[in-house]
A and B are shown apart, each in its own frame.
Chain A
Amino acid sequence: MGKICKFALEINKQSFVIKKIVILQTDINHLFEKNNKMDEKHKPTELEDVVIRFAGDSGDGMQLIGTLFSDASAHYGNDIATFPDYPAEIRAPQGTVGGVSGFTVHFGHTEVNTPGDYADLLVAMNPASLKASVKYLKPGTTIIIDIDAFTDKNLKKAGYKTSDPFKEDGLEDYNIIPVKITSLTREALKDLNLDNKAVTRSKNMFVLGMVDFMFSRPLDYTIQFFEKKFAGKPIIIEANEKALKAGFNFAESSHAIFSFKVAPAKIESGRYRNINGNTATAWGFLTAAQKAGLELFCGSYPITPATDILQELSKRRDLGVKTFQAEDEIAGISTSIGASFAGDLAITTTSGPGLALKTEAAGLAVITELPLVIVDVQRGGPSTGLPTKTEQGDLFQALYGRNGESSLAVIAALGPADAFHTAIEASRIALEHMTPVIMLTDSYIANGTQPFRIPDLDTIPEIKPPIVTEPPYQPYERIDKEKMIRGWAKVGIPGLQHRLGSLEKMAVTGTVSYVPENHERMVKERQAKVDAIANDIPEQKVEGNHDAEILIIGWGSTYGHIRRAANQLKREGIDVAYTQFKYINPLPKNTGEILKKYKQSVVFELNMGQFANYLRMKYPGFDPLQYNKVQGLPFTVQEIVDHIKSLLKK
């Protein structure tokens, strides 16, 4: 204890917020020290927000209990954000660091924005999970381990050289709670005559029971889940319920474990559900199709981390969705272009390497001016890169990855729940402006979850594509001079037959043309059409203190981290302005004005500076500082805070 207090004092000098965290930690640890005072148990300590990391072998069911705990917290009224991280291999070698599957949940009674940088509580099911999680821990925090799994063999598998992993990893001052999770689960289920495998499989529920006790979560929610999920298998329901309750009761009667309370957050009223970015994206497209009065077609090829969007949409035959699992990425986009020609809201979903393959066909959609949304769920690149990890490295590919002058719209989702609205917006731009749109999300958005306020769809505006239903029709006549769009002929209508194609077309009539001046005209018309989208999108907003000296710039999925960092800085008395870009091409019209205003600007992005360079090119003379990270991981709030402080010191 003494060491932790000393550590806290040292940190206190540096920042108020870190002090808060450490005090929170010392509070927890303080309570553990007074572990014989039973009355403390019945008065749970109130906490602002908590980050829990569940870590185990990929077969240990960590994702499931993480999700169940998050859902229960959301039900209770906390704001939450979660992030699963699991190996690219389906069944990575058991007991090794590479095979660890983790799930982080951040819940609080204020806005949480991110899944949290560092955990207040770690549950480690084996030595490998401990080893893989060390870098995600707050100093001195609480670690519950399954001591049954800490055998010499497992320690060796995890790469520990001695039998004291805590000493090896410098965790001696941490609050380690060893629990015989495997044997206690076995004990709890001994009357059920289950085989060994089924018993071991229930130990995650024992863990969930313990954590439910620690954070004062009632068990009904989880038990209802068992009843639904395992309907018709009473023995499985019973086993899970028994393990869950055993964990809860064990924690309650243990003198080492205390309970805490995180009061509900002040959240806008309404009906909510928890949603990840891929599901939100899929549902956004369903909504857009309904709002446009069109059928939804999704031609796609499975690729991590985008596959879930195709999977989610393929469930939706009940809403008339046509999903087409194509033979390759190229066929994915090509079938969608065919469906767009046929009059559907057509989308295709992919990740970086797949976007590279779709490049030529995207150019076809550009020259034929057909509406199409291409979703790129970015992952670490180049090439196969880091399939399950997050990155913002495809920005230039989205903007420029085609032959010729082939501008198209690019838009980025700001978070898991925002992906719903971004998918609608991408569809609106594609359909109303007759252009392909690339929607960028990333692995962090795709798999991360957030509470999602369920909108009343009647309040979402209609989408009005320029569908032509009767002759006369000229395929390349700009029927709206402001938007510079051509009309979209309905298929199957007498007199509307026309020809589209990948060869350059004569303006207005659309016949093949090699006339030099016509090519230049058409290139300019297509560019003007994309540029005109700027008249039809909201102005860029600045948040935080508009009069601050420093402007933090971000785009896409880093919004939550930047926002939380700005709030943290404000609490520490440091004013910053921040602005997060969703519309990348075209940029909002007031972007230049914003960029001019601040003495210092710094672009935070998960690549080597693509957006910063894009802004430099678009606004000559604007030369921002950069903060870049390419580790396949999101930013931590702390590194943003620290970097801003270091800039202000200079």
Chain B
Amino acid sequence: MATTITKENLYKKVNLKPTEYKSDQEVRWCPGCGDHAIYNAILKTWSELGIPKEKIAVISGIGCSSRFPYYVDVYGFHTIHGRAGAISSGFKTARPDMSVWQITGDGDGLAIGGNHLIHECRRNIDLNIILFNNEIYGLTKGQYSPTSRFGQITKTSPYGTIERPFNVGQLVLGANGSFFARTIDAYIKESVEVYKAAEYHKGTSVVEVLQNCVIYNNGAHAEITNKETRKERQIWLKHGEPMIFGENNDKGLILENERLKVVKIGENGITEKDILVHDAKTDNLGLHLMLATMSYPEYPIAMGVIRDVSRPTYDELMEKQIDEIRQKSKIKTVQDLLNSGNTWEIK
């Protein structure tokens, strides 16, 4: 009972191919949907990590992404709209030895389920939250979501939205989340690294996946993901490495007047030494927030693990508290409790 669960003793590694994590159910996302790629990257992650199938739980809400649990041969739970976070929290608290993956989207996780998301971050329950962000409501056929662009024309905003979108990273960091990463659906290799980092992180890990909805919001992320320009418009952050990007790896970020600034190495006397080195492990929110909120065209979009801060998890503290109080308390059984305090005998 007293053993602390760590990532190392959570499970005994197994050797399974990604396809062995698939269930017998036909995958029913639209052809060309970004969800297929995310699905494959997650299967690959599990395979590479060697997690036994019976030690994984996948819990989702409602929406296209939330069909995910049906397609994997693990403990799956497709729940109700917005509540995946709360249900995952209860599940993980009850069974801290399980590897829990919460699958959600921008509607499920940020609109109807927004309250649960910020409280998961605050509590730091050891969950991997994979948030598929396609900036649209797909399953209900094309209404704007909390991440749709200001002015976007959708079925419920025929004259353009008059709402400002959430930046997922800003929301997570605002709730003092301990882990935030961003990736792109089709980038399998990079995504696997990000999902692995999420699983290694002890606490609530939020991964925003920029996902393309081919039917209702095709090309939503194209300005960032286009083959021709992507190296100029994305910066892949790695802990301990300089923040360098660009077609020729010659651009970088520096701090100037307390703001981030894009500079070119070799110009104006800038050398690689001047470029900021990414520290994902610092508790200081300031730079993480600046990185998470960088937007095109002023900045490249920050990708990879932006924040990865170590702090005790809710589920771990719960177990610890139970152990401590158990040892101290005079009440060892329910019968002890019933007999405790003020009682009297009637003969």
Contact = CB atoms under 8 A, between A and B. Distances in A.
B248 interface: no
A363 B90 CA distance: 17
B173 interface: no
Contacts of A320: 322, 326
A274 B346 CA distance: 13
Interface string B102-145: 00000000000001100100000000000000000000000000
A473 B39 CA distance: 25
Nearest to A317: B325
Contacts of B328: 318
Contacts of A337: 79, 87, 90
B346 A338 contact: no
A322 B343 CA distance: 27
A330 B86 contact: yes
Contact of B94 (A74, A322, A330, A494): A322
B78 A503 contact: yes
Contacts of A274: 342
A86 interface: no
A403 B192 CA distance: 40
A458 B221 CA distance: 64
Contact of A512 (B70, B80, B345): B70
B318 interface: yes
Interface in B155-212: none
B48 to A, nearest CB: 19
A527 to B, nearest CB: 21
A334 to B, nearest CB: 3
Interface in B300-347: 318, 321-322, 324-326, 328-329, 331-335, 337-339, 341-347
Interface stretch (B55-63, B254-262, B268-276, B282-290): B55-63
A341 B54 CA distance: 14
A283 B341 CA distance: 14
A111 interface: no
Contacts of A494: 52-54
B76 A499 contact: yes
Interface stretch (A166-174, A187-195, A342-350): A342-350
B77 interface: yes
B78 A502 contact: yes
Interface in A315-342: 316-320, 322, 324, 326-328, 330-331, 334-339, 341-342
A334 B345 CA distance: 42
B95 A343 contact: yes
Contacts of A271: 339, 343-346
Interface residues of B, number: 59
Count class of interface residues, chain A: 35 or more
Given A454-B343, A502-B78, A511-B25, A495 B54 contact: yes
A157 interface: no
Contacts of B89: 324, 331, 335, 338
B86 A338 contact: yes
Contact of B115 (A295, A328, A368): A328
B83 A334 contact: yes
Contacts of A31: none
A38 interface: no
B341 A273 contact: yes
B342 A71 contact: yes
Contacts of A593: none
Interface stretch (A19-27, A100-108, A245-253, A262-270): A262-270
A272 interface: yes
Interface string B45-74: 000000011110101001000000110011
Nearest to A287: B334
A273 B336 CA distance: 13
A346 B91 CA distance: 11
Of A269, A283, A498, A501, the most chain B CB neighbours within 10 A belong to A501
A213 B105 CA distance: 69
Nearest to B115: A327
Of A77, A283, A497, the most chain B CB neighbours within 10 A belong to A497
Interface of B: 23, 25, 52-55, 57, 59, 62, 69-70, 73-80, 83, 85-95, 97-98, 115-116, 119, 318, 321-322, 324-326, 328-329, 331-335, 337-339, 341-347
Interface of A: 71, 74-75, 77, 267-274, 283, 286-287, 290, 295, 297, 299, 316-320, 322, 324, 326-328, 330-331, 334-339, 341-344, 346, 360-361, 363-364, 368, 454-457, 491-503, 511-512
26 contacts: A267-B346, A272-B344, A286-B334, A297-B90, A317-B321, A322-B322, A324-B89, A324-B93, A326-B119, A331-B89, A335-B89, A336-B90, A338-B86, A338-B87, A338-B90, A338-B93, A339-B91, A339-B93, A342-B98, A457-B333, A457-B335, A457-B338, A491-B54, A497-B54, A497-B76, A500-B76
Going nearest first, the 6 A-B pairs with the smallest beta carbon separation are A338-B90, A335-B90, A501-B78, A318-B329, A334-B86, A338-B91
Given A456-B335, A491-B75, A499-B69, 9 more contacts: A283-B334, A283-B337, A319-B337, A322-B93, A338-B89, A342-B98, A499-B70, A502-B62, A512-B70
